Amino acid sequence: MNLPYSNNLPVNKLAAVFSSTSATYKFYWFLAILELVEKDIFYIEKKKIFSKMISNSWYTINYFQVSFGKQDLIQDSVRTILEIENITINENKDIINAILENTTKIDTLKILNHFDKNVPHWFISSWFSGNRKDIYSLSQNFDHGCLYRLEKDHIEINPIWISYLKLNSKILKDFCYWNLSLFLQKRNPNVPDIPNKICRTLGRNSLLKQMNEYWKIVFIELGAIDCIFTNKKLIFEEKKYALDHFVPHAFVSHDLIWNLIPIDKTFNSSKSDKLPLLDKYFDKFYILQETAYEIVKSYNPKNKYLEEYLNIFPDLDSRSGFDYLQYKETIQPLITIASNNGFSYMKG
């Protein structure tokens, strides 16, 4: 993916910024700048940019547990700020920005100011040669058409770049997200759906259709479903159940029916994004899923959710059918990789 061309601007210099990256700083720095330029802010306080770097990576690190690699300090910074500022994992990004921009806590300020050591001047180093002091000095007159001027606590966007940044903001952000996805996928080769874990919010799709068009059929046929975790009988009309992602949504990042089961609503709240113990719960999960599949298939062979099982069982209609080992061999690696990425197991 290439940057939009311009006859009058050294776009090649901007592209060169991303030609070699060993950490995510450049991506989050530029994304923050683009968001602020979209709001017609061209004289930008560095603290505002550093705050956005944290908030833009907040969900990727805290909720989706994507690893940024050992060289990247953003990950440690985000997790430390989570504790210092007592911010919730699912806090709104605008609120996170407001908290960080107005914080007076010394430890948080140290973390934010740490980014000032290298990020602002190295980002425009493709326009200049020299050390930090040299680049600060050379940027003052926007030499070589550099993107911005560096000051102690601010940057000022070069006026010749403003129109380009505003007109191409979406493409430039997509460029960042695309390259950030490639960067993080190399460091998380077995983690699914990296792109959606970078640029999405925590808004979750409703599971009402899966409940009404699939699991309701099972409830009606069985009369009640036993929660695999608490053994409580769940009755459709009582509404004391919730559809649960057996492997946490924060890891798989999808709502496919083969990973969804109704469980006790109260337990679902406490389970949150914890991993189930397979030795204890997989057999119950498998039996419930197989039973549900057979019931729905008998009721309506063309039910669209039946097709989602083909991800696991490509030959679902063959003799092997709803194979126990094939199912477990799909779930087991997901649980293991999620655990390796920081997701914790349920107790007992």
Predicted confidence (pLDDT) per residue in 202-250, tens digit: 567 789 999 999 999 999 999 999 999 999 999 999 889 999 999 999 8
Q: What is the largest CA-CA distance in the chain?
A: 76
Place of tokens 């985000």: 78
Instruction: State yes or no: pLDDT of 14 exceeds 90.
Output: yes
Distance CA 11, CA 18 (A): 12
pLDDT score for 103: 96
Distance CA 300, CA 225 (A): 20
Contact present, 3 and 15 (Cβ < 8 Å): yes
Q: How big is the CA angle at 217 (ends 285 and 204), to the nearest 5 degrees?
A: 65
Distance CA 302, CA 271 (A): 33
Residue 107 banded pLDDT, cuts 50, 70, 90: very high
> Which CA distances in Å does 279 have to 44, 73, 191, 225, 348?
54, 36, 23, 21, 11
Q: What percent of the chain has pLDDT over 70?
A: 97
Look up residue 153 and give its amino acid: D
Place of tokens 């960067």: 183
pLDDT score for 201: 60
- Please give the average per-residue pLDDT across 157-181, as a whole number: 95
> For 273-331, how does the pLDDT look when each residue is reduced to its tens digit (9 = 90+)?
899 999 999 999 999 999 999 999 999 999 999 999 998 988 877 666 789 999 999 99
> For 28-39, how does the pLDDT look when each residue is reduced to its tens digit (9 = 90+)?
999 999 999 999
pLDDT score for 203: 62
Residue 253 banded pLDDT, cuts 50, 70, 90: confident
Tell me which of 193 and 96 has the higher pLDDT: 96
pLDDT score for 95: 94
pLDDT score for 318: 67
Contact present, 188 and 194 (Cβ < 8 Å): yes
pLDDT score for 34: 97
Chain-centroid distance of CA 132 in Å reads 33
Distance CA 236, CA 220 (A): 8
Please count the other Cβ atoms lying within 10 Å of the Cβ belonging to residue 7.
Answer: 5
pLDDT score for 347: 84
pLDDT score for 2: 83
Chain-centroid distance of CA 19 in Å reads 24
Q: Can you tell me whether residue 264 is helix, strand or coil?
A: strand
- Please give the average per-residue pLDDT across 63-89, as a whole number: 91
- Please give the average per-residue pLDDT across 140-150, as a whole number: 96
pLDDT score for 348: 64
Contact present, 167 and 160 (Cβ < 8 Å): no
Q: How many CA atoms, within 13 angstroms, populate the side-chain half-sphere of residue 46?
A: 20
For the whole model, what pTM was predicted?
0.77
pLDDT score for 4: 93
Q: What percent of the chain has pLDDT over 90?
A: 77
